[in-house]
Amino acid sequence: MNQELQEKLFQKYPKIFRQRNLDKTETAMYYGIQCPDRWYDIIDTLCSQIEKHTERKDIVCEAMQVKEKFGGLRFYAAETDDYINGLIAMSESLSFKIKE
């Protein structure tokens, strides 16, 4: 993802992307968001829903890696629950439907 879009997500969701400034030995978020720009809206919506959910449930969900794998989005996170896992699964499925 280009730097400008990535920074928008980092600024908008600092709690979710808290690991972005850690060393590469600690997290894969060191490498940033490694996926096409066309998935920006999917990731933005996913993060928005995660943030709303975590505020109500007092959960701290952090992205550990966001990348493309086998042509689809992969969003790996720590401290998830069934609802967040469902949001992630739906977002990953949607990514296959958005073509260049």
The pLDDT of residue 57: 84
Domain contains 28? yes
| Residue 100 domain flag | no
Query: Could you tell me if residue 33 is inside a domain?
Result: yes
**66 located within any domain:** yes
Q: Is 34 helix (H, G, I), strand (E, B) or coil?
A: strand
pTM equals 0.93
Give the structural domain span for 39: 3-95
**pLDDT of amino acid 58:** 81
Domain assignment present for 77:
yes
**Could you tell me if residue 48 is inside a domain?**
yes
Spatial strand order of the sheet with 72-78 comes to 33-34, 62-69, 72-78
Task: Find out whether 35 and 1 touch, Cβ atoms under 8 Å.
Answer: yes
pLDDT (0 to 100) of residue 42: 98
Distance CA(44)–CA(13), nearest Å, equals 9
pLDDT tens track, the chain, 100 positions: 999 999 999 999 999 999 999 999 999 999 999 999 999 999 999 999 999 999 988 888 999 999 999 999 999 999 999 999 999 999 999 999 987 6
> 34 lies in a domain?
yes
The count of structural domains within the chain is: 1
What's the pLDDT at 100? Answer: 64
